Amino acid sequence: MSAASQQFEHDAERLTHDLRHRSLIQTALKKYEVARDSKKSRYQDWQSARQTAAEIKWDAVNHLNTYLEEFASKLEARGAHVHWASTSEQARQIILGIVREKNARSIIKSKVMTGEEIHLNEALEKAGLTVVESDFGEYIVQLRHEAPYHFVFPAMHLVRGEISKLFEEKLGSKPTNDPEELMMIARGILRNKYITADVGITGANFAIAETGMISITENEGNARLTCALPKVHIALMGIEKVLPKLQDLALFMPMLATAGAGQVLTGYNSLYAGPRQPGESDGPDEFHLVLLDNKRTHLLADAEQRDALHCIRCGACLNVCPIYRNVGGHTYGTTYQGPIGSVITPHLRGLQEWKHLSYASSLCGACTEACPVKIDLHHHLLQGRRNAMARYPVWWERLAFKVFGLVVNHSLLVGLASSLARVAQRLHPLIKGTRLDPARPWTRSRELPQVAKQTFKEFWRSRKR
């Protein structure tokens, strides 16, 4: 069992017994569901919106080379520097190179999940830089030295009292239970950070090939300040974020807001197209875009699961996932939690280490139903299991299923097995729940069904006579 798998099981065991935690997450996500459904009803036809979105993403992902080149050349024409990073190490080095060249000392960041993916903060801090997260949720988890709990709602696992206490300890603020006051405490500190930061780092929600722009969606205005105030702006994004046309945003912006957060439209949606141009009053002097592969092309090469690159990181699949709702985000140990994370992490970080995530699903399909770009998530988990067992079979499981196949294909053996089951059922109380009990994973928390006095087959035969 891999280390990641052990950690998952350990944390899942702990968190499923934490009723307070489960109820906190479920209450929050039920509220999301209500909000999402009310906003979905404003679409003339949500299903055809999904279909259109899926088709646009299909086109983008299947012609990624063309669109990326178009996007990069348009951006470069306006004086932006475009960097191509194959690995997370390369991406870190590119970014470190830029900040060193600028003699930067402090960095302000808006929310960027690819930054989490490449462990950017650690690398920057190790190089002696001060890094401050400006998204409220990210700021909170940064103060706690934690990974984001959810890739859209990084601090959703914390209640106001906990945040107030954290601010008291770390920032010396007065306790409060008022969300606005809490926000203002963070803002008071952050305003100064924007002004003094040498470099601003952001992500990108979408990249537009047609116009060479990146689009950033946010609710707090922090990304706008991160882009506008420091002299240098570095944007880091995965290569799958590109969309062909500017008009595509008319669909994707509201869709991201509705599916992800139950909003009509996110508070701020801004487009950035390179450094400040002559005659413009604001914007950075320098604009760098880092395009990150980090095994996305590995996923692109897999025709069966390629549509996982359609993902717009809205988080809808996490929000509806009964596994996520019961084990929470940190349990996954991944940058991208929930169903989409379970699908892509084995591709991005290694099948052997992360294959357990394909199995940590009841395959209920709630994720696939919720996905605005129609990624076949739960079937990919199923295919992930097949891929995993083709390469790393568990010998006793394979043997067990071979025997199982042998038994069910021979009526005599089935008869024997059902007789044995009756005997076993009578003896079972002697070992039930103990370590000798082969059904222990089940019987620790559930009762087994009873073998009927007359099975259906016996009924059928008695009737034929």
Partner 1 sequence: MCYPRVGISIVQILERLGHEIDYPEELACCGQPAFNSGYWKETRPIAERVLKRLQDAAAVVIASGSCGAMLKKFYPELFANTAHARAAHELAAKCYEFSDFLVTKLGVTDLDAYFPHRVTFHDGCHGLRELGNKKQPRELLAKVRGLDLIEMSEAETCCGFGGTFSAKFPMISTAMGEVKCTSALETGAEYIVSNDASCNMHIQGLADRQRLSLRTIHLAEVLNSR
Question: Cβ distance 185 to 89 under 8 Å?
Answer: no
First-last CA distance in the chain: 53
Which is it for strands 130-133 and 268-272: parallel, antiparallel or unpaired? unpaired
When the beta carbons of 245 and 385 are compared against partner 1, the nearer one is 385
Shortest Å, Cβ 384 to partner 1: 8
Distance separating alpha carbons of residues 110 and 45, to the nearest angstrom: 33
Binding-site size for partner 1 (CB under 8 A) equals 63
- 34 touches partner 1 by CB under 8 A: no
When the beta carbons of 103 and 409 are compared against partner 1, the nearer one is 409
Distance separating alpha carbons of residues 80 and 355, to the nearest angstrom: 39
Distances from the Cα of 310 to the Cα of 55, 112, 154, 290, angstroms: 9, 18, 22, 20
When the beta carbons of 231 and 330 are compared against partner 1, the nearer one is 330
- 144 touches partner 1 by CB under 8 A: no
Per CB under 8 A, which of residues 61..80 are in contact with partner 1? none
Question: Cβ distance 84 to 236 under 8 Å?
Answer: no
| Pick from 49, 21, 26, 140: nearest CA to 372 | 49
- 323 touches partner 1 by CB under 8 A: yes
Shortest Å, Cβ 306 to partner 1: 17
Contact map string, positions 369 to 408, toward partner 1, x by CB under 8 A? x------------x--xxxxxx--x---xx--xx-xx-xx
Shortest Å, Cβ 324 to partner 1: 10
- 432 touches partner 1 by CB under 8 A: no
Distance separating alpha carbons of residues 381 and 274, to the nearest angstrom: 39
Pick from 43, 84, 268, 359 the residue near partner 1 by CB under 8 A: 359
- 366 touches partner 1 by CB under 8 A: yes
| Pick from 254, 240, 231: nearest CA to 296 | 240
Shortest Å, Cβ 425 to partner 1: 10
SS3 letters across 278-333: CCCCCCCCEEEEEEECCCHHHHHCCCCCHHHHHCCCCCHHHHHCHHHHHHCCHHHC
Q: Summarize as ranges the residues that interact with partner 1 (CB under 8 A).
A: 9, 12-13, 16-17, 22, 26, 322-323, 325-327, 358-366, 368-369, 382, 385-390, 393, 397-398, 401-402, 404-405, 407-409, 411, 414, 418, 421, 441-442, 444-452, 454-461
